[in-house]
A and B are shown apart, each in its own frame.
Chain A
Amino acid sequence: MLRYTLKRLLSLIISLAIASLVIFTVIEVAPGDPASFMLGINAAEDTLAALRAELGLDQPKWQRYLAWVGGMLQGDFGTSYQYRTPVSEMIADRLWVSLPLALYALTLSTLIAFPAGIYAASRRGKASDVGVMGATQIGVAIPNFWFAMILVLIFAINLRWFSAGGFAGWDKGFFAAMKSLTLPAIALALPQAAILARVMRSSLLDVLDEDFMRTARAKGLSRGAALRRHGLRNAMIPVLTILGLQFSFLLAGGIIIEQVFYLPGLGRLIFQSISARDLIVVESVTMLLVFAVITVNFLVDLAYAAVDPRLRARA
């Protein structure tokens, strides 16, 4: 298990190094000069040169790459071209919204999907299975921004239980902050839950046909107990894969939901920075997201090994 972990860790570091190179190259190669963007098209050439020097844009590319990576390792992501504030601060502010939102949505989605998927699988072919699967079909089909607006309409405008948008801030207390994240989390979680429930069901159904489930029944376990004790863990590998993908998506892909609820999250930050050619912010946020995705994959790999002893042995 230790060797497996070390191996995965090594592959994580290599992936990060390659990703940083690719991100840096792509963004540097993309047309558009941040200095002229910041100063406007009428700026004098010497002013532009001075600003480029200040931003470090006049240095050779490899030096800028090393400076960028070195800075990130120390938590220094540089200074935003647009706002002239440290990128690390901007990201930290946004991360405090996006990360809890993603975790909140993921928790909700898991809490809905696992019982729904298990229930449907244990009642395969019966009316309740068809019902649950029909509901998930709708859940997959509904666009989350539309669902978000319906939530706002019902719970914010009609019932007035929640505010229609904005983020209360963590300084207002945990519950106030969580309350303002609740509607967005539900809007994000529902389609994810629908997908996850379907994966859970089909994965469980595959396992239910396995020979060892018959062995479990032959030793005297009831259908339900056999499913819980022998089926679930074997069905977890595809479910974990989807969970990992969903978390990565929720962290950055909530941009539409952030827009609907007017939340200051990472998705909006990256969108605004791209529009403003704030390359240093785009680079850093992208790198951060890559880091998050690769780390989540690493954790999913560890979870695989925890679930399945055969993977531990193969490493």
Chain B
Amino acid sequence: MSLLDVQNLSLSIAGTPILRDVSLTLAPGEVVAVTGESGSGKSMTALAVMQLLPSAAVATGNITLDGNDMLALDESTLCTLRGDLVGMVFQEPMTALNPVQTIGAQVGETVRLHRPDLDPKMQAREVLDRVGLDAIPLTRYPHELSGGQRQRVVIAIAIACRPKLLIADEPTTALDVTTQAQILDLLKQLAADDGMGLLMITHDLAVVAEMADRITVMHHGEVVEAGDTPALLANPQHPYTQALLAASDHQVDLPQTQKQAPLLRVQNVVRDYTLPRTRLFVPAGTHRAVDDISFDIKRGERVGLVGESGCGKSTLTRAILGLEPVQRGTITLDGTPVTDPSVRRKMQVVFQDPYGSFNPRHRVARLISEPFHLLDTTPDDREARIAAALTDVGLSPEDAQKYPHQFSGGQRQRLAIARALIIRPELVIFDEAVSALDVSVRAQILDLIADLCRQYDLTYLFISHDLSVVRTITDRVLVMKKGQIVEAGETEQVFTQPAHPYTQTLIEAAPTLPGAA
């Protein structure tokens, strides 16, 4: 007898079909993963189970949860089931909590709604202890907690009434690898302790490989394949699943280069931030974001920089770009300090968010030719260069007249790369440039970068929290922790024989697909 039984679920929003004939089942105590890329309908499937769909959504088919016909129940009955029979955890722990209520009140509210006879405060304390927040008082506000702690609070809200089913929608996507490992452990533990069913929605196959009993793969609103985890991963039947698995563990063919003289030199760089003054006559304290960092990037070298949020990698990146004043040390490109305006044209950056980094009202031609402003004169062959830049990144010259919204996320990231390369910079900085992309798109962009290396002998600094990506796309890697570089070396060397305990922790925490090296 299954706890959750979804049969032939179809869903359309304002006439646009989102899901088609989706079926899946989940037995009590079972962990089932629904995976697929963005737009596959996996989150909508989860929201359909909760019956928290957008108001324009029309669902047909059957969703039976513990004997309740979820599509037929009225709203007030559904309210009594949500939070009691089924709880849900969301992707963004930073915004999933009400910022103006204490965590105790928010966890207690679930109890108060469904178990009026119990003391909400005592229950909140108990459930926060269960999710590993025993040191955190109930009176804390969300902004006083870290991302991982907030996600624990969100989980506490969802499991406060010991639901039979927990739905977790990308619960660890926004978290660091070590935090991700802890949260996944916690979810697994809770499911096992309570015999709770766990429906995991995730784009990351490596995450579910270690957790799920069964996997359902979705594509374009349909289930393309479902089965037991080991069997499905070892022997995927559907071409899409095969492609997804290949892309998740994609290895690029990085050309060998001649390493020459140092291009970028970072020497003993220190960046302190002044903390807010706490007393009137006591000097304000400082926070050292970058602590005495030195490294070189040689011409033609591809260097990775990994570290968790708050380790100072963003500050370091900004300092290299000349956007951040440093208190001590020097950063030079070809011998010139990076704060010198003439260096700007030799360095370009590709950012994480392919949606936010383009002005939506400009055409592509104008967007990708922006770096020409850095040159003393606009080149005569501007049009030809734009066409060439677009061709280089796998787009066509005709795309120059389009607007950014006419492109997909992956195509926009190609545009961002075209923009960075159009003036042939000596150094490119990829700042989490593939982190927001689906695995198949990510694989294509990584291939593109390798191609461009072959063509133009790129030198780049590749900043990422994703170790598997850094491993394949770089020659050398720097591991950063608390403002310091704790380990540096040849990428393969660092990954196979990490010397520093922190590097070991990072590599262990990163989820891997079985069979991957």
Contacts and interface: CB of A to CB of B under 8 A. Distances in A.
Interface of A: 210-212, 214-223, 229-230, 233-234, 307-310, 313-314
A42 B11 CA distance: 90
Contact of A313 (B52, B96, B113, B143): B143
Given A211-B95, A212-B96, A313-B144, A218 B88 contact: yes
Nearest to A210: B95
Contacts of A212: 95-99
Contact of A218 (B76, B80, B82, B143): B82
Given A215-B90, A218-B88, A308 B99 contact: yes
A243 to B, nearest CB: 18
Contact of B114 (A220, A229, A233, A309): A220
- Identify the interface centre among A219, A220, A229, A308: most chain B CB within 10 Å of its CB: A219
Interface string B262-294: 000000000000001000000000000000000
A216 B79 contact: no
Contacts of B95: 210-212
A308 to B, nearest CB: 6
- Identify the interface centre among A222, A234, A308: most chain B CB within 10 Å of its CB: A222
Given A215-B157, A219-B160, A222-B75, 11 more contacts: A212-B95, A214-B52, A214-B90, A218-B88, A218-B90, A218-B158, A219-B158, A220-B80, A220-B81, A309-B99, A313-B143
Contact of B84 (A211, A217, A220, A313): A220
B82 A217 contact: yes
Interface string B90-113: 101001111111000000011001
14 contacts: A210-B95, A211-B92, A211-B95, A215-B96, A216-B98, A218-B52, A218-B88, A219-B110, A221-B113, A222-B79, A229-B109, A230-B101, A309-B99, A310-B141
Given A211-B92, A313-B143, A313-B144, A218 B50 contact: yes
B83 interface: yes
B98 A220 contact: no
A221 B83 CA distance: 9
B136 to A, nearest CB: 15
B381 to A, nearest CB: 47
Contacts of A216: 98, 109
B99 A220 contact: no
Nearest to B109: A219
B115 to A, nearest CB: 11
Q: Identify the 3 closest CB pairs spanning chains A and B, nearest first.
A: A220-B83, A219-B83, A211-B95
A220 B141 contact: no
Interface string B202-213: 000000000000
Contacts, number: 79
B154 interface: yes
Given A217-B52, A219-B157, A230-B101, A211 B143 contact: no
Contacts of A309: 99-100, 141, 143
A169 to B, nearest CB: 44
B87 A218 contact: yes
B59 to A, nearest CB: 17
Contact of A307 (B79, B80, B100, B110): B100
A219 B113 contact: yes
A220 B90 contact: no
B276 to A, nearest CB: 8
Contacts of A313: 141, 143-144
A220 B158 contact: no
B138 to A, nearest CB: 14
Given A221-B113, A309-B141, A215 B82 contact: no
B100 A234 contact: yes
Contact of A221 (B50, B79, B96): B79
B99 A310 contact: yes
A124 B110 CA distance: 27
A230 B98 CA distance: 7
A223 B98 CA distance: 15
Nearest to A125: B55
Given A214-B52, A219-B83, A220-B81, A310 B143 contact: yes
A226 to B, nearest CB: 10
A230 B97 CA distance: 10
Contacts of B109: 216, 219, 221, 229
Contacts of B82: 217-220
B195 to A, nearest CB: 21
B123 to A, nearest CB: 13
B191 to A, nearest CB: 18
Contacts of A234: 98-100
A269 B392 CA distance: 74
Contacts of B101: 230, 233
B401 to A, nearest CB: 33
A160 B69 CA distance: 62
Nearest to B95: A211
A212 B101 CA distance: 11
A220 B160 CA distance: 12
Contacts of B96: 211-212, 214-215
Contacts of A222: 75-76, 79
A222 B52 CA distance: 11
Contacts of A233: 100-101
Nearest to A236: B100
- Identify the interface centre among A210, A212, A314: most chain B CB within 10 Å of its CB: A212
B99 A215 contact: no
